Amino acid sequence: MTNPALDAQSLSLVAGLANPARRRDAASALATHIGADDLIVFVRDPEIGALLAAPGFQQTLPGGRAWRDFLTTCTNTRHHTAEVPWPEMGTVVRGLGLAVDDGAVLVLLGGSPHPAEAEALGLLLPLVAAAFRDERTALSAAAQATVARQAAAQARELAERLDSARRELQRELQTREDFLASASHDLKNPLTSIRGGAQLLRRHVERSDEVDRARLTRVLSQIEAITAQLASQIDEMLEMTRYRMGRPVDLEPRTTDLLELARRVADQHQQATEQHVIRVDGDHGSIVGRWDAPRLERVVGNLLNNAVKYSPEGGAIVVTVAREREDAAEWAVLTVRDQGIGIPKDDLPHIFDRFQRSRTVVGRIAGTGIGLAAAKQLVEQHGGSIAVDSAPGRGSSFTIRLPIAADGAEPARPSEAIHQ
Amino acid sequence: MTNQPRPVGADDQSPSILVVDDDPAIRQIVSEVLMEEGFAVTTAADGLQAIRRSADQPPALVILDMTLPLMNGYEVAAALRAAHGRALPILTITADGGAAAKAQRVGAFAYLRKPFDLDDLVAAVQRCLQDD
């Protein structure tokens, strides 16, 4: 069904509105043509650049409806690129917006029927009314009071809207600052170890007559391990930054054995600590699904890093990999449990999403970096979830759940995953 | 990587330095270089450990990372000063912004920014302990 507001005839009728002598006739012809009871016309003023109510037309929507509401809900809109001469204002108006809704037609000469225009319309109405008062007949005292009241109410509403936008922006800036501070902290720790390790060796070589080869090998291996960790942290940061700008990472799901993955990551982390014993429990055997293995390694690595870091007295770190059935769906469940210092209760609700937009989190949670936020993002992109259970002095337990065989595909045999 | 390496060249008269950092690799590197210089070193990964580990032998100096879990650097500094005297010298280490301001708030005699230079660290420690 074509709407008459959108055809060529309505366009020529709108052009007729520009002529003051023919205005009344053109307006009623346009209203009849479109089938509207109310015709509201705004023209962009060439000097101030804003949309002003055209003289002789009503300025408010029927029933006192808000402009924003009208322009947001209105589905019959059209934007012409036509040029309409408007001699009264000494201008040629470029562009023509039409919006028809609920028996009212809004004509925006030099505007587009977009909700953003509503701000300008709402704000300028009292000013326009005041201009009328000067140019035409004086308004009654009661009418002036009404205009003043409306202006005050609109100013208040606008101030509130500005204030909430400012608060929102401040929150976003704070989140960004926290993200940068965490990112820089995360990068500077490994850099310190690399620089320190190299200087330690230089001092040793300069000062000793006999080079301690075992020490050289140990520190160099450590530096190597830390550079690998640093590279993975940089990838993580880039992905998190892109994700925050609304561009999720492209996962590359491959047939992956989660138990084998957990054992591999646990082995790597075991090499970096003598105080901790990292054990992998996989009583259910291999659990195979289609996941992005390198990114899951990073997630599990993050959890193990935290477990080691926050168990300064050493002790056991247990990784369990199990299968769970819930209704028709099967889940792979991986848990990393430590006996460390735990997480304060106040930090728990924010620990995964401190860097999400518009989240009000005061201050930063020291030392956990961006790893957990990145882990949550990656696990959720797999269609899974991440959860934490912790109390100060009682250790922490992180659990990730991943769907097995998403779109009903048959999981591959474990042997295939290991040898692929 | 042992947690409490045997001091080489340090004896009972050696001033004891407490190193507080939640990064195990940094703790180890700082310990090694200080022990090479003849200091006795104790390490801690958080505030509670710092207080516990320094209870038997009061440190002559504390090297304190300002970003720590559970208790932050200010709280750890206050707790250590309460335990070992207000004059306890503290060298702060900061990874993010505001290094100088943080050091001043703690009343540190010096501060370092990560990634710091081991020669700078040793020089600052020696200067502080020789002045005594």
The answer to whether the CB atoms of B115 and A185 lie below 8 A apart is no
ipTM over 0.85: yes
The answer to whether the CB atoms of B45 and A312 lie below 8 A apart is yes
What pLDDT is recorded for position A341? 86
DSSP labels, A13-57: HHHHTT-TTTHHHHHHHHHHHHT-SEEEEEEE-TTT-SEEEPTTS
Task: Please report whether residue B4 resides in a domain.
Answer: no
Angle, alpha carbons B31-B27-A339 (nearest 5°) = 135
Strands (E), A87-243: 91-101, 104-109
The answer to whether the CB atoms of A310 and B69 lie below 8 A apart is yes
The answer to whether the CB atoms of B22 and A367 lie below 8 A apart is yes
Q: Counting one residue from A and one from B, how many pairs have CB atoms under 8 Å apart?
A: 92
Q: How far is B30 from chain A (nearest CA, A)?
A: 8
HSE on the CB side for A34, CA within 13 Å? 31
> B85 by DSSP, 3-state: which?
coil
Q: How many domains does chain B have?
A: 1
* Residue B73 · residue B67 · CB < 8 Å: yes
Average pLDDT over every residue of B125-131: 87
* Higher-confidence position of B105 and A174: B105
Task: Please report whether residue B84 resides in a domain.
Answer: yes
Q: Confidence class of residue B11 from pLDDT cuts 50, 70 and 90?
A: low
Alpha-carbon distance A363 to A24, whole Å? 63
Average pLDDT over every residue of B54-79: 90
- Residue A192, chain B, CB below 8 Å: the answer is yes
Portion 208-247 of A in contact with B at CB < 8 A: 222, 226
What pLDDT is recorded for position A418? 38
Burial class (CB in 10 A: 0-12, 13-18, 19+), A124: buried
CB within 8 A of A180, min separation 6: which ones? none
Alpha-carbon distance A242 to A249, whole Å? 8
Alpha-carbon distance A183 to A354, whole Å? 13
Domain range spanning residue B122?
A: 16-131
Per-residue pLDDT of chain A (420 residues; tens, 9 = 90+): 345 555 777 777 887 887 777 877 888 888 888 888 888 888 777 666 667 777 677 767 777 777 777 888 887 887 877 788 877 777 788 888 888 887 888 888 887 777 777 666 655 554 555 555 454 445 566 666 676 677 777 788 888 888 899 988 888 888 888 788 778 878 899 999 999 999 999 999 999 889 999 999 999 998 998 898 888 888 888 888 888 777 888 899 999 999 999 999 999 888 777 788 999 998 878 999 999 999 999 999 999 988 988 888 888 999 999 999 887 889 999 999 999 888 888 778 878 876 765 444 444 445 556 888 889 989 999 999 999 999 888 899 999 999 997 544 444 433 333 343
What pLDDT is recorded for position A127? 52
Task: Please report whether residue B112 resides in a domain.
Answer: yes
Give the strand pairing for B61-65 and A38-44: unpaired
The answer to whether the CB atoms of B97 and A181 lie below 8 A apart is yes
Alpha-carbon distance A318 to A395, whole Å? 12
CATH of the domain at B124: 3.40.50.2300
Q: CA separation (Å) from A206 to A134, A325, A361, B10, B34?
A: 90, 62, 49, 21, 16
Task: Please report whether residue B9 resides in a domain.
Answer: no
Among A149-158, A410-419, B56-65, B86-95, name the one with the lowest average pLDDT.
A410-419
Among B18, B21, B37, B46, the strongest candidate for a mutation testing the A interface, having the largest count of A CBs within 10 A, is B46
Could you tell me the sign of the dihedral formed by the alpha carbons of B28, B34, B36, B42, in that order?
negative
